[in-house]
A and B are shown apart, each in its own frame.
Chain A
Amino acid sequence: MRVVVDLTRCQGYGQCVFAAPDVFAMPGQESLLYDPDPSDEQREHVLRAQAACPVQAIHVDRLAGHVPGPRPYPYPAPDSAPDRGDGFRRSGRIVIVGASLAGVRAAAVLRRDGFAGSLTLIGDEPHEPYDRPPLSKQVLTGRMPLEHTTLPRLRDLDAEWLLGQRATGLDVAGKRVRLADGREVEFDRLLIATGARARPWPNEAEAALDGVRVLRTIEDATLLRRRLASGNGRVLVIGAGFTGSEVASVCRELGRPVTVVDRGPAPLAGALGRVIGGIAAQIQREHGVDLHCDTTVIGLDGDAEGRLRAARLSDGTTLEVETAVVGLGAVRNVDWLEGAGLAAGVWGVGCDAGCRVFDINGVVTDDIFAAGDIARFPHPAYEFQFLALEHWGNAVAQAEIAAHNMVSDQTRRWAHLALPVFWSSQFGINIKSVGVPTFADEVVIAQGSVAERRFVAVYGYRGRVTAAVTFDQAMWLEFYQRMIERAAPFPPDFAMVGRPAEMLPVPAEVPPRVAVAQGATVVVTGHDPGERRATLVRRPQ
């Protein structure tokens, strides 16, 4: 059986652990770990756990079912959207490029909502689609076998799966996707969900050293797991974002010495700002991480056999290291869209809040949609800025919106207005976030205690609440979500339980926002309105 827990919904009630202690575990106060592929003898326990979940976040053998609970905004019932009147829902052709979480979720929603036409999924990885969050957590610790990460129920989708096939081009006018082997797949409507890949170590020779790894795919996780299990030397983590910090946490759990290097002022500072990042830094050091902030790795050195031996840091340190994990973020998989005439570039694929992709001129297309890590869409709650969100929850929520809109007429379209929610589990602490913490000028600890590592941090921008981050306090997150949705004033100045004696907003020190498509150079040609065109000038990065 396949189990998926929507950890964006999970509030840490732990009822599943009571019901099925061999499948679900809470190693800290709130972080939930689980085996997504438990043996059949656990079925009864898992079904009990599913029934008992107070927020109904446990999905068994499905990726799209009834979504219970109060939704962040009113959706029409899923089956209420009528056909566009052209028979598309019965006999149309939908192609989804990208067969990971967003693509698979969209396929499941299309079928749930009654799309009966042909459905093709194209994915460049040869495996059945799998869930990535465990790769930097329970897979890496060895608690969970790698093959258990497979996503549920794909055979029942009645879809054609072209796995291990890379899409290399898109012909928008001819409505065709080109594959690496030269084949072409025709579509009536297309979903772009090709996501992102790990950003490699920029020095190719150093990146090729044995022991230098990234972590994004199941192969990456296999190789890294093997190294962590077999060696005992120092691990260097380059980049203290969420992936890097989670890897560092796993290393400490396994008793491996680990050095974390980040060019920024603190771990997680890129996502949560320097203030909360500073707390993350304390936590890392308490757990024995050798943390170097405001530091870069200036070189990786190998031996004669090409094995990684040492790292040189900008602060003058030279370290003997056995493994280096490159956690420098992601590169969006837009290469195959080059020349297609869409608003695609290093920033991702531009689309409207209904997931319809913009062409390079900024005009919305009718039949091409985008969802997941690759999509960049305007969010009304954030001054209509275009956001690309590389979160599990966003992939799931946005894919549902895209799928719905692909089979609905324009009066029934939904907008992707859900606030971003993400989570991370590291050093025994469950970190959750709602809103956009980088969209802030101030931050305040509104509840709990930093010293106890249990608190709610609230972010504000120009006097309104824009985000909240909890450390082991997930049950309060929805309250702050509503404050964000209602543009409540910042700082929150009401009496409440668990409020610290003093509530002092401080500068959030988030990284400066840069223009969405910074660096994109466009040439506009033509004179008559009918022939004006924009062309993106590609430059080597």
Chain B
Amino acid sequence: MAETSVFARILDYANRADPYPLYAELRETPVLRVDGRYVVSTYREVVELLHDPRISSIREEDVAGGGPSDGESLPGLPPAFIRRDPPDHDRVRRVAMRHFGPPRSPGRVEGMRGALSEIVTGLIDGFADRTRVDVVDDFAYPLPVTAICRLLGVPTEDEPRFRVWAAALVEAIDPRAGEATQRRRVEAGLELRAYLDELAEARLRQPSGDLLSALVTDDGVEGAMSRDELLSTASLLLVAGHETTVNLITNGMLTLLRHPAELDRLRRDPGRVVPLVEELLRYEPPVQMLPQRTALDDIEIAGTTIPKGATITLVLAAADRDPGHFPDPDRFDPDRADKEHLGFGGGIHFCFGAPLARLETRLALSALASRLENPRLVADPPPYRENVALRGPRHLLIEFDGVAPPPGT
């Protein structure tokens, strides 16, 4: 019974601010059965299952009809590739990657550096006459939406509408979201779908250099992507790349403020942001767990048999604190030699947007560290969102004495 309760306590909102002691308890049983669900929490076992072809990412409700019930896909569209298996997953992801990264578009993300840097600068410039801001609402939220808009090629004047839809969709990812939230999600989803469809049509007639133009004019050499799959992919980029990046940036600022020596070092040495973000992805990852994968067959692991058809939850954040892999795992240490964290998952579903998330978070944390004078937390811990899988503060109020001009000006 004690074992059952540890996962229940992890789900309990009261423990959202610090689930890590509970993860330690969870790891005592590497594969824990809770109400027919198998919760896996140790590093080696999680890595094994991330690379196990006997595990499916398809969800029952997607197959049964009625469509995805959360914000990861739009109503009426096929599930996004994150919730599909090979060969469909591979085909759609490959076509999308063709225009997002290597082999064909290796420079697209790095090419956004200048524009993203400007957005970051602009957001922090907006703090100039203030001494208190909410890192979530005033900074970490606007940045990723703007980044995705730029990536997809959403015209600047439409960005505000886009933000409203994004917020409605993201809100609905939370499993506890009520009926009203779900209704808003469906409405927002339909509007967003219509908007993206129209934009895709326009880009088909007159392509520009953005990702949507590239996707809609793809010549199908690597396999075809239907219009519905395209819209589904675009919305996945929006939603999945949104909440997670918000949380990564917010968790980053929170962690820095809890480790003032690290904040100081980052201020003096901007290059330190690279190992720092990797350690952050291990120490406070935005995706704490992959809640729902399915065993296609009996799987023997760590002395347990996960039976065919069982739901599997991979607790990435617990695995990343596994002392069997990371010595002294509860210490935040950017100098850690081993950066083989699971912050972006692993295997074929490895985070598609990881390079963009890294770029945004590095720029964001460097700028916050170098420009905010004497920043401090207003409340520790801050209030958290409900969501246990995509975990992060709802607000992060900080105070500071002033805002320095951007470095180099």
Contact = CB atoms under 8 A, between A and B. Distances in A.
A17 B106 contact: yes
Nearest to B48: A482
B54 interface: yes
Contact of B47 (A56, A70, A447): A70
Interface stretch (A23-31, A149-157, A332-340, A375-383): A23-31
Contacts of A88: none
B279 to A, nearest CB: 10
Interface in B65-88: 85-87
B52 A54 contact: no
User: Which label, helix, strand, loop or mixed, suits the secondary structure of the B interface?
Assistant: loop
Interface string B139-159: 000000000000000000000
Contact of B355 (A15, A65, A68, A476): A15
B339 interface: yes
Contact of A54 (B48, B103, B277, B350): B350
Residue among A25, A48, A452 with most chain B CB within 10 A: A48
A298 B382 CA distance: 80
Interface in B326-384: 337-340, 344, 346-348, 350, 354-355, 358
Nearest to B296: A495
Contacts of B346: 54
B35 to A, nearest CB: 24
Contacts of B94: 29
A419 B47 CA distance: 19
Given A17-B103, A26-B103, A454-B90, 20 more contacts: A14-B102, A18-B355, A19-B355, A21-B107, A51-B275, A51-B278, A52-B278, A54-B344, A56-B339, A66-B338, A68-B338, A69-B338, A69-B340, A494-B297, A496-B54, A497-B54, A497-B85, A497-B86, A497-B296, A498-B87
A475 B44 contact: no
Given A54-B350, A56-B339, A25 B103 contact: yes
A14 B275 CA distance: 18
A68 B296 contact: no
A55 interface: yes
B103 A21 contact: no
Interface string A2-15: 00000000000111
Contacts of B325: 70
A14 to B, nearest CB: 5
B110 interface: yes
A495 B308 contact: yes
Interface in B298-316: 298, 308
A385 interface: no
Given A13-B350, A70-B44, A495-B308, A475 B51 contact: yes
Contacts of A448: 86-87
A17 B47 contact: no
A317 B64 CA distance: 61
A454 B87 CA distance: 10
A449 B87 contact: yes
Question: Which among A19, A44, A55, A497 has the highest number of chain B CB atoms within 10 Å?
Answer: A497
Contacts of B271: 44, 47
A478 interface: yes
B110 A19 contact: yes
A75 interface: no
A52 B348 CA distance: 16
A21 B275 contact: no
A28 B106 CA distance: 12
A27 B103 contact: yes
Nearest to B223: A452
Contacts of B17: none
A53 B274 CA distance: 12
A495 B325 CA distance: 30
Interface of B: 43-44, 47-48, 51-56, 85-87, 89-90, 94, 97, 101-103, 106-107, 109-110, 271, 274-275, 277-278, 296-298, 308, 325, 337-340, 344, 346-348, 350, 354-355, 358
B103 A68 contact: no
A447 B53 contact: yes
A236 B164 CA distance: 64
Given A497-B55, A497-B86, A498-B87, A26 B102 contact: yes
B355 A494 contact: no
A281 to B, nearest CB: 24
Contacts of A65: 337
B257 to A, nearest CB: 23
A384 interface: no
A73 interface: no
Nearest to B278: A51
Contact of A494 (B86, B296, B337): B296
Interface in A392-435: none
B56 A14 contact: no
A54 B86 contact: no
A69 B339 CA distance: 9
B392 to A, nearest CB: 22
Nearest to B222: A29
Contact of A18 (B55, B87, B102): B102
A18 B101 contact: yes
Contacts of A53: 339
Contact of B51 (A44, A52, A479): A479
Nearest to A47: B274
5 contacts: A26-B106, A68-B337, A449-B87, A478-B48, A495-B297
| The 9 nearest A-B residue pairs measured at CB | A498-B86, A18-B355, A496-B53, A494-B297, A17-B102, A21-B106, A497-B85, A66-B337, A495-B296
A436 B40 CA distance: 32
A78 to B, nearest CB: 12
Contacts of B56: 497
A44 to B, nearest CB: 7
B87 A479 contact: no
A133 to B, nearest CB: 19
Contacts of B102: 14, 17-18, 21, 25-26
A53 B350 CA distance: 12
A53 B298 CA distance: 31
B181 to A, nearest CB: 32
Interface in A48-107: 48, 51-56, 65-66, 68-70
A66 B43 CA distance: 18
Nearest to A488: B300
B110 A18 contact: yes
B316 to A, nearest CB: 12
Interface in A139-197: none
B43 A70 contact: yes
B369 to A, nearest CB: 18
A497 B87 CA distance: 8
Given A21-B110, A27-B103, A495-B297, A476 B278 contact: no
Contacts of B107: 21
B221 to A, nearest CB: 12
A265 to B, nearest CB: 30
Contacts of A497: 53-56, 85-86, 89, 296
Nearest to B299: A494
A475 B340 CA distance: 15
Contacts of A476: 51, 53
A452 B340 CA distance: 31
A497 B54 CA distance: 6
Interface string A320-337: 000000000000000000
A322 to B, nearest CB: 31
A17 B87 CA distance: 24
Contacts of B90: 454, 498
Contacts of B48: 478-479, 482
B339 A68 contact: yes
A269 B313 CA distance: 42
Contacts of A479: 48, 51-53
A28 B54 CA distance: 27
A68 B308 contact: no
A28, A51, A449: most-surrounded residue (chain B CB, <10 A): A51
Contacts of A69: 338, 340
Nearest to B308: A495
